């Protein structure tokens, strides 16, 4: 249910952008959902639609599009790259849940598969962000 907090941040941002740019109509909002945060897409979609109604914005639900992005991690020590999916399969449920709440907690539970270092970058697919908001004045 923590998806609701993130969904509200998205709708709040759309509202701010409408006001900032005097938009009369939103044609498309593209959201990227990074794999590392393991967002439940169904819950998130439902939360987005429900929060949108409560904000009473002139935005069609269908104009908010969700796209998932795979997560890639890169070791700062040996420069290996690997996907979070590889780790996901062998992770404890509690560890995966901690990363769900705070994606950077990956540094606590994941090590580079090549050299064992905890020093890696989350190159892409971290969490929720808005790629674009398209609309008309």
Partner 1 sequence: MIDPRLHIISKRLGGIKRIIAVSGSKGGIGKSTVASALALCMAKNGCRTGLLDLDLSGPSTHVILGAEGLYPKEDKGLVPPEIHGIKYMSIIYFSGNNPSPLRGQDISNIIIELLTITIWGQLDVLILDMPPGISDSILDIIRLIKRMEFLVVTTPSKIAIDVMKKELRILVELNIPVIGILENMRTKEFSALPDKISDLSIPLLGSINLDESIEDAMGNADKLIKTVFFGQLEKLFIEQIKDSRYA
Q: Which residue(s) pair with 69 in the sheet?
A: 34
CB of 86 to partner 1, least distance (A): 20
CB of 16 to partner 1, least distance (A): 5
CB of 60 to partner 1, least distance (A): 19
Q: Cα–Cα–Cα angle for 79, 81, 84, nearest 5°? A: 140
Q: Which is nearer to partner 1, 16 or 79 (CB)?
A: 16
CA distance 88 to 73: 13
CA distance 23 to 76: 43
89 Cβ contact partners less than 8 Å away, ≥ 6 residues apart: none
Q: Which is nearer to partner 1, 22 or 54 (CB)?
A: 54
State both tokens at 8: 């509200």
CA distance 130 to 113: 31
Q: Which of 62, 75, 76, 6 has its CA nearest to residue 30?
A: 62
Q: Which residues bind partner 1 (CB under 8 A)?
A: 1-2, 4-6, 8-10, 12-13, 16-17, 98, 101-105, 107-109, 118-119, 121-122, 126-131, 133
CB of 85 to partner 1, least distance (A): 20
CB of 105 to partner 1, least distance (A): 5
């Amino acid at each position: 249910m923590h998806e609701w907090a993130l969904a509200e941040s998205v709708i709040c941002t759309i509202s701010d952008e409408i006001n900032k740019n005097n938009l009369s109509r939103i044609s498309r909002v593209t959201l990227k959902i990074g794999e590392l945060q393991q967002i439940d897409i169904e819950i998130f979609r439902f939360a987005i639609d429900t929060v949108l109604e409560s904000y009473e914005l002139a935005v069609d639900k269908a104009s908010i599009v969700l796209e998932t992005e795979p997560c890639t991690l890169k070791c700062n020590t040996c420069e290996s790259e690997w996907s979070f999916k590889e780790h996901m399969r062998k992770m404890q449920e509690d560890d995966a849940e901690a990363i769900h709440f705070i994606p950077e907690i990956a540094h606590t539970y994941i090590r580079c598969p090549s050299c064992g270092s905890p020093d890696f970058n989350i190159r892409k697919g971290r969490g929720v962000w808005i790629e674009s908001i398209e609309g008309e004045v």
